[in-house]
Chains A and B, each alone.
Chain A
Amino acid sequence: MLAMNTTERLAIAAHLHVLLRRRTGRVTDPEWMATNREYASAIVRFAKAKSIELSADDLDLWAGKLESAMAQPDPRPAVPLVQSTVAAIRQSRSGGAGSNGEERELPIQEDPSLPPAPAPAADMDALSPVLPNSQFAETGFGESVVNGRRVDKKGKDEPRYVGGLR
């Protein structure tokens, strides 16, 4: 389920997409706009420039809204119950802290026998609320999980409808 913040971002991006389409003919990808900060920044710059050129105050207004929305920090991704329980058990075995009840990060213990996880994409944090665990299985098909740390799936970050519908 998408975090509320991301839903709002998507709504703002969609509104800006419609405005840009009508006023300038420019076609944008609202999904990508709501999740990728670089793309969103580029669109904001474009929209603001066009708002001056066309004297369109609504373009400037919605570009500002998107800029504010993207500046906010991303919500923490939801951790599946099984995963958090396993993490808690491991921590208690290792005698870790956490008795004050605060939520903690999943422990990352690199297994030397496994290949190193690739570096996450720069906008991984932006993507993770939008592309949560598949929930199809505990770790998801095709997903390489190294001690609780999710490795990016092939093709997962590809924008939709570019170079083909499917």
Chain B
Amino acid sequence: MSTPTPSAPGLVAASSLNGADTAWLLTSTALVLLMTLPGIALFYGGMVRKKSVINTMACVVATAAVVSVLWFVAGYSLAFTPGDSLGLIGGGDRLWFAGFDVIKDGGQVAVSHIAPNVPESVYAMFQLAFAIITAALVVGAFVERMRFSAMLWFVGLWSIMVYAPIAHWVWEPGGWLAQLGALDFAGGSVVHINAGVAGLVCAWFLGFRHNYGREPFMPFNLGLTMAGAGLLWVGWFGFNAGSAIAADGRAGLAMLVTHLAAASGAISWMVAEWVRRGQPSLLGLCSGVVAGLVAITPAAGFVTAPSACLIGLVAGVSCYWGATGLKRLLRADDSLDVFGVHGVGGIVGSLLTGLLADPRIAGVEGSLMTQLIEVAAVVAYSAVMTAVVLLVTMLLVQLRVTREEEEAGLDQALHRERLGT
């Protein structure tokens, strides 16, 4: 008699767990966390002006801390447990750190119904790493002008009110987008479109930095940015291949297509920039890598290697336009082009997943219409709820630093710290 598939988290015999899958998921968790700490910290820190590098990095570290605690208080339960019948939000089975049990005498371990082959503690940690990096990505849109206390309130509220519901819709089997058949292997919509749109809304709310468009804002150290990009590239193997939740052929293919898309994205961004500006740049190469990685994220477990190259090539050019021409059209000071790279890349990748998903790989057929619905729903919800979160934050604290603080630099103004001479 076959064991029925669990529909909720619960206890299983420890012997039923898969050691290889668990080991790979543990490794992937570390890789994804490395993408934030120090990947995003370096990537962003190298791009801002010298007077705000420390603040930028502090925002990333603080985001990781705040989201981590809130994840186990409420975020994980709201995202990854069965909830309402409409599939909009999860339940309370895992609120306040409940249920991550390892019972030695009984030989039982708690598992999630979504990943019954690995301990739930490992699965929850893996998903936490995604929640952290999503919130950390948004930071790039409002650097150099947001008050630190406001940032803390914002990321905390945002991770619960925006990230958790969207993750539930897409990744919890009862979520309404999952029920609709939307394909998002590792977070094209949950992470990248969500972060990109939220970043854009933040940029609109906060307004332009002083002297934006009149004075060059010299990046502090593009070597740091490159180091961060390298960590992102390698860490993304955990991001995508780890989302297979198994150490198997699908994970291997996900790693392969991730790498190809990154390389293709770098090349196509480089060519686009070479055409437009006459010279390639390190920042362009790094940005192209990230663009390719973002775009392959929803597709990593569904497409073939040639499709991955195509996705990367399209993403490189699209995101270059997103960070240049589209940015001017949108009239927002998205400081580090979060929408241009992550938002546009996520949208491109999600739509191409609908076109290029190969049913032989994962047994599911892609649908462009379904992907469109998914993209539209995530864009709309993220935009509206991010605005709500910002309004709530504005009621609690002042959102933006003063002009004097901004000119002095947030390192000195908010932290009284400075980089070496």
List A residues at the B interface (Cβ < 8 Å): 27, 29, 32, 131, 134, 136, 140-142, 153-156, 158-166
CA gap between A135 and B327 in the complex, in Å: 29
CB closest residue in chain A, given B407: A25
* B323 touching A166, Cβ below 8 Å: yes
CA gap between A134 and B273 in the complex, in Å: 11
List, in ascending order, chain B residues with CB within 8 A of A156's CB.
276-278
* A27 touching B337, Cβ below 8 Å: no
Q: Is the interface of A mostly helix, strand, loop or mixed?
A: loop
* B215 touching A162, Cβ below 8 Å: yes
List B residues at the A interface (Cβ < 8 Å): 47, 212-219, 271, 273-279, 283-284, 287, 320, 323-324, 327-328, 335-337, 340
Give 17 A-B contacts (CB < 8 Å), ordered by A residue. A27-B216, A29-B216, A32-B216, A131-B278, A134-B278, A134-B279, A136-B274, A140-B278, A141-B271, A141-B274, A142-B276, A156-B278, A161-B216, A162-B214, A164-B328, A165-B335, A166-B320
* A161 touching B219, Cβ below 8 Å: yes
CA gap between A148 and B208 in the complex, in Å: 43
* B213 touching A162, Cβ below 8 Å: yes
Q: Which 3 pairs, one residue from A and one from B, show the smallest C-beta to C-beta distance? A: A142-B275, A161-B216, A163-B213
* A131 touching B214, Cβ below 8 Å: no
* A164 touching B324, Cβ below 8 Å: yes
List, in ascending order, chain B residues with CB within 8 A of A29's CB.
216, 218
CA gap between A131 and B277 in the complex, in Å: 9
Knowing A27-B215, A29-B216, A160-B216, the reply to whether A165 touches B47 (Cβ < 8 A) is yes
List, in ascending order, chain A residues with CB within 8 A of B335's CB.
165
CB closest residue in chain B, given A21: B50
CA gap between A160 and B283 in the complex, in Å: 12
CB closest residue in chain A, given B320: A166
Distance from B283 Cβ to chain A, minimum over Cβ atoms (Å):
7
CA gap between A156 and B214 in the complex, in Å: 18
List, in ascending order, chain A residues with CB within 8 A of B219's CB.
161, 165
* B276 touching A164, Cβ below 8 Å: no
Q: A153-B276, A165-B323 are in contact. List 4 more A-B contacts (CB 8 A).
A: A142-B275, A153-B277, A159-B216, A162-B213
CB closest residue in chain B, given A141: B275
* B217 touching A161, Cβ below 8 Å: yes
CA gap between A142 and B271 in the complex, in Å: 10
Partner of A166, one of B271, B274, B275, B337: B337
List, in ascending order, chain A residues with CB within 8 A of B218's CB.
27, 29, 161
CA gap between A161 and B214 in the complex, in Å: 10
List, in ascending order, chain B residues with CB within 8 A of A166's CB.
273, 283-284, 287, 320, 323-324, 337, 340
List, in ascending order, chain B residues with CB within 8 A of A141's CB.
271, 274-275
Distance from A166 Cβ to chain B, minimum over Cβ atoms (Å):
4
CB closest residue in chain B, given A25: B407
Partner of A163, one of B212, B274, B336: B212
CB closest residue in chain B, given A26: B215
With most chain B CB atoms within 10 A of its CB, the pick from A29, A142, A166 is A166
* A162 touching B216, Cβ below 8 Å: yes
List, in ascending order, chain A residues with CB within 8 A of B275's CB.
141-142, 153
* B328 touching A163, Cβ below 8 Å: yes
* A165 touching B274, Cβ below 8 Å: no
CB closest residue in chain B, given A166: B323
Distance from A17 Cβ to chain B, minimum over Cβ atoms (Å):
9
CB closest residue in chain A, given B213: A163
Knowing A134-B274, A141-B271, A141-B274, the reply to whether A165 touches B217 (Cβ < 8 A) is yes
Partner of A154, one of B276, B323, B327: B276
List, in ascending order, chain B residues with CB within 8 A of A136's CB.
274
CB closest residue in chain A, given B284: A166
Distance from B225 Cβ to chain A, minimum over Cβ atoms (Å):
10
CB closest residue in chain B, given A154: B276
CB closest residue in chain A, given B323: A166
CB closest residue in chain B, given A131: B278
Distance from A21 Cβ to chain B, minimum over Cβ atoms (Å):
9
List, in ascending order, chain A residues with CB within 8 A of B324's CB.
164, 166
